[in-house]
Amino acid sequence: MKPPALRRLPRSCPSRRRERGVTMVLVAIALVAIIAMAALSIDVITLYLAREEAQRSADAAALAAARVISLSGLTGDPNNSVTPSLWQLVCGVSPAGAATQTATAVANQSAVGGSAATVTVTYAAGGTTTPDCTTLAGGPFGVNPMVTVQLSRASLPTFFSRIWGNTGNTVSATATAEAFNPSNSGNVGNQSPVAIIPVQPRCVK
């Protein structure tokens, strides 16, 4: 009679004792890899969506503020000679002007990552940036006012990546809009001066 092709090893075989616990180690390694992939997919997508939400809110807020400036008539009074107090009412700081209030309200209409973001509104002209447009009265700002809205959302919640000590992230977005007045841009920009009376267009870009 031929001996069997496969023989059972005795229970006390040394090679069997050395293999004990191997499955547990392999399962632990596989779990770490699965959690890492989950963190990469879920947490990164969460950050990406929050960043898109912040950008959309910043875009809408900047356009709304620029429209308020355009409708106010500032772009038709570059020397601020007719309504000196109008600048303060439109984009001043104390009290907050209509453009700043509008930008903040529009930005807060949409949550970023489930809650409101921090909103910062600034105005710029001729290389100068300030939260109070009254310091920019006259000159380029009176023709082509620019408003920038920055949104920042801190402590954005994370899920699987907490195991590595990451308890929160920050996303931010910035958008700039301009109440452009093409009729008088040559007088305050880098173009050759042109004798054109400024108008009050109702457009933003």
CA distances from 141 to 77, 103, 110, 124, 159 (A): 10, 18, 29, 7, 46
Mean pLDDT of the chain: 76
pLDDT in tens, 124-174: 887 888 999 888 876 777 777 889 999 998 877 776 666 666 666 888 999
Most trustworthy range by pLDDT among 25-39, 117-131, 185-199: 117-131
- Using a 10 angstrom Cβ sphere, with 0-12 exposed, 13-18 middle and 19 or more buried, the burial of residue 116 is middle
3-state SS track over 93-112: CCCCCHHHHHHHHHHHCCCE
- Which H helix or E strand runs over 68? helix 44-72
Confidence of residue 6 (pLDDT cuts 50, 70, 90): low
Most trustworthy range by pLDDT among 45-49, 51-55, 70-74, 152-156: 51-55
8 Å CB contact between 202 and 180? no
Tell me, what amino acid is at 157?
Answer: P
Q: Please tell me the number of Cα atoms within 13 Å of 168 on its side-chain side.
A: 6
Helices 44-72 & 98-108, crossing angle to 10 degrees? 150
Residue 119 confidence (pLDDT) above 80: yes
Distance CA 56, CA 111 (A): 11
Q: Phi and psi for 182 in degrees, rounded to 5?
A: -70, -20
pLDDT at 192: 47
Task: Enter the tokens of residue 21.
Answer: 């616990």
Confidence of residue 191 (pLDDT cuts 50, 70, 90): very low
Region of poorest pLDDT, from 56-65, 73-82, 102-111, 121-130: 73-82
Q: What is the mean pLDDT of residues 41-57?
A: 84
Residue 182 confidence (pLDDT) above 60: yes
pTM: 0.71
pLDDT at 58: 94
